Amino acid sequence: MVRVLEYLEVVGDREKFYRCLKCGSVLGSAKVDYKNFALKRTVPISKAQPASLASYAMKNNTFVMREYYCPNCAVMFEVDMVQKNEPQIHSIEVKL
């Protein structure tokens, strides 16, 4: 067992899988990005900005936050702040 995020670990002997540390749910094979198995939510960057910057972020509408959650218990795994049209960031690579 190897912890890769606060609520995400990799388990298994021969085959490696991502598993939620909060509920124990297996997400999928560690051969691919865990984000492919997670629930995803895209929200405006203004959600995380102080009020003084929120109007600028909303006006330009260039950046978003992508939130990734366990599909079973909805604990949050990770948040990426990216340009709106940027592809998904592959943030974890497991050496198998």
pLDDT confidence of residue 74: 97
CB-based burial label for 63 (10 Å; 0-12, 13-18, 19+): middle
9-26 pLDDT, tens per residue?
999 999 999 999 999 999
pLDDT confidence of residue 35: 97
pLDDT confidence of residue 72: 98
Task: Report, as an integer, the average pLDDT of 30-53.
Answer: 84
CA dist list (Å): 23 to 10, 28, 71: 14, 14, 10
42-92 pLDDT, tens per residue?
988 777 666 666 565 556 678 889 999 999 999 999 999 898 899 999 988
pLDDT confidence of residue 59: 64
**Contact in structure between 29 and 17 (CB atoms under 8 Å):** yes
